[in-house]
Amino acid sequence: MPSSTVVNRPTRRQILTRIGIVAGSAALYQAMTVMGHAQGTDFAGEPKLAGAKKGTKILVLGAGLAGMLAAYELRKAGYDVKVLEYQTRPGGRNFTLRGGDTLVELGGAVQHVGFAPGNYINPGPWRIPYHHQGLLHYCKLFGVQLEPFIELNHNAWLHSSDAFNGKPVRYREYAADFYGRTAELLAKAIDQHKLDLPITDDERHAVRAAMGVWGGLTGDGSYAKGNASSSRRGFAKPQGGGMDGAPVPSEPFALGEVMKSGLWQAVTLHDRLDMQTTMFEPVGGMDMIGKGFAKHVGDLITLNCKVSAIHQDDSGVTVTYADMSQGGAVKTAQADYCVCTIPLSILSQLDVQVSGKMKAAIAAVPYASSVKLGLEFKRRFWEEDDQIYGGISFTDQAISQISYPSTRYFTDGPAVLLGGYMFGPAAYDFAGMTPEQRVEEGLRQGQVLHPQYRSEFRTGVGVAWSRMPWTLGCCSMWSEQARKAHYKDLCAIDNRVVLAGEHASYVGCWQEGAILSSLDAITRLHQRAIGAA
């Protein structure tokens, strides 16, 4: 090889980047493994808050996970703690709807949940990644039993209105063909020296071999109908026993259909760090976490307190609130310091006496609109008819996805699935509907994937987070520009007030963000209180 070519060779990082752009993270990882390069959040344990001054009072606003964790750790450290919560229950966005529950939203719409006993839907958080070690630590500490949440199911459906004649296809079929077709293109390009990458022959052969294994290619580097492809996408006639037990290979989808469908977005979703296995959920509903926390700090929480003002001076903090359990009687609470976990969408509307920088930060963060549909059916037809046990089906319709319960497999009687999970414009469209219309539209779109929807439907709920009066949105949506300009001001201690919650973290929209933010906020506040900062 000429020396000039050697000098101009791209680095292996550049080679891997180009493979990643074309084939996605799974192919990138496979190539990294061959080339010898392949090998969570920053939870570091419970805080050490020694030396608290006896009698120091700290007022916590909000009894979500951030607020309850702050109360737990601060009381353990020796502080005098009190928590004010707007709702009639602790837990915040960590909540579960069961039969007999009532949900009231802005505008007055009321939903009476009619699920059968034992069935539920988690309108807020519904899964916990394995690397969210802060939340998992406190679940274990507080005795919250967890079980696996099935994120990826190879037998679930993928649906594109513009491909495959608008019919849903199995995840395994599409994923096998997407990987196979992509690997074929890469393998052929490498063989024909058309990637314009002057890498060594050994590296070229290694990458080609990786693509062959990863994509299920034939010996000549093709992706074609046969046992190699069918062992991934499924056989037209499955393996059986006896005289007629030989399987019949299935026909892969055409390259053009595979690529134009856009379904590769759903396939690569599961490679994202926050969607990787193993994931967990609490046994019996997500609110088991909130209840687990509340068992340890419930005596500190006063419910039905609608905060209207937070004032402070050099000697302490005064919070004004309406006691909704006493007809809205106006009361005040005083403390030496305040940990405020009220969502910024609400906090920005209150009379908050903080610096101009913190006020600007509070106002700089919009909240996402999200809608979740909980649909109950007479039987588990997705298991009985389609052999789908847990996992998620994806569609390009507004409902976006259908998630199947990861619990009580093979049981008879009614069951609930997540019939839609919407963000952005679709969520605003659904939020503008009545609850009944949301459920009806979820049924209409869902029956494209499951024709059984209509005949098996029992009841449903549609939760629009932008219409929840205590949060006015699902979670914080920092832009890169806003975070650069305001994030540190939001997290800084402002005299005697510090903010905490998922909005004050880089793990926004996850419960782990609330946990890590709370631990950071109270650690810094403790240092301030004992005069060490």
Q: What is the CATH number of the domain that holds 81?
A: 3.50.50.60
Residues 333 and 378 in one domain: no
**Do residue 29 and residue 160 come from a single domain?**
yes
In this prediction, residues 24-33 reach a mean pLDDT of 44
Domain assignment present for 510:
yes
- φ/ψ region of 139 (left if φ > 0, alpha if ψ in -120 to 50, else beta) reads alpha
Please give the average per-residue pLDDT across 294-306, as a whole number: 98
For the entire predicted model, the pTM comes to 0.89
Any domain includes 137: no
5, pLDDT greater than 70: no
Q: Which of 27, 269, 238 is nearest to 171 (CA)?
A: 269
Give, in order, the Cα–Cα distances in Å from 6 to each of 2, 94, 200.
Answer: 7, 57, 9
CATH number at residue 198: 1.20.1440.240
Contact (CB, 8 A) for 393 and 95: no
Cβ atoms of 310 and 335 within 8 Å: the answer is no
271 has a pLDDT exceeding 50: yes
pLDDT in tens, 233-250: 999 998 899 989 899 999
* Reported confidence tier of residue 40, pLDDT bands at 50, 70, 90: low
Same domain as 340, residue 193? no
Least confident of 21-35, 85-99, 274-288: 21-35
- Same domain for 393 and 258: no
Q: What's the pLDDT score for residue 45?
A: 95
Give the three-class secondary structure for 530: coil
- For the domain that residue 421 is a member of, what is the CATH number? 3.90.660.10
Is 222 part of a structural domain of the chain? yes
Output 216 or 10, whichever has higher pLDDT. Answer: 216
The helix-helix angle for 171-191 and 25-35 (nearest 10°) equals 50
Torsion on CA atoms 353, 358, 364, 368, rounded to nearest 10: -80
- DSSP one-letter string for 110-155: EEE--PPTT-EE-SS---EETT-HHHHHHHHHTT--EEEE----TT
| Domain membership flag for residue 401 | yes
Q: How confident is the model at residue 199 (pLDDT cuts 50, 70, 90)?
A: low
Q: Which of 440, 467, 494 is the last residue of a domain?
A: 467
Same domain, 420 and 441: yes
8 Å CB contact between 172 and 388: no
- pLDDT, one tens digit per residue, over 136-178 is 999 999 999 999 999 999 999 999 999 999 999 999 999 999 9
Cα(213)–Cα(179) distance, rounded to whole angstroms?
Answer: 10
In angstroms, the first-to-last Cα distance of the chain is 62
Quote the pLDDT of residue 201.
79
Residue that wins the pLDDT comparison between 8 and 337: 337
Contacts 24+ apart (CB under 8 A), 17-25: 18/195, 18/197, 19/186, 19/207, 22/182, 22/185, 22/186, 23/179, 23/182, 23/183, 23/186, 24/182, 24/264, 24/267, 24/268, 24/271, 25/268, 25/271
Do 429 and 345 reside in the same domain of the chain? no
522 inside domain: yes
Q: Does 33 share its domain with 160? A: yes
At 12 the pLDDT is: 45
- 149 lies in some domain: no
Residues 374 and 445 in one domain: yes
Same domain as 390, residue 301: no
HEC string of 445-472?
HHCCCCCCHHHHEEEEEEEEHHHCCCCC
- Joined together, the tokens standing for residue 185 give 């293109």
Per-residue pLDDT for 66 more than 50? yes
User: Is 133 inside any structural domain?
Assistant: no
- Look up residue 315 and give its DSSP letter: T
Of 467, 498, 516, which one is at a domain's C-terminal end? 467
Q: Identify the domain boundary among 423, 444, 467.
A: 467
Examine residue 284 and state whether it is found in any structural domain, yes or no.
no
**Domain co-membership, 212 together with 251:** yes
Same domain as 171, residue 121: no
Whether residue 250 sits in one domain with residue 161: yes
Residue-number span of the structural domain to which 82 is assigned: 57-92+289-362+476-529
Residue 384 φ then ψ, to 5°: -70, -40
CA distances from 304 to 83, 321, 330, 501 (A): 11, 10, 12, 20
pLDDT in tens, 41-55: 789 999 999 999 999
Q: How many domains does the chain have?
A: 3
Q: Do 28 and 20 meet the contact criterion of CB atoms below 8 Å apart?
A: yes
What is the tens place of the pLDDT at every residue in 275-292? Answer: 999 999 999 999 999 999
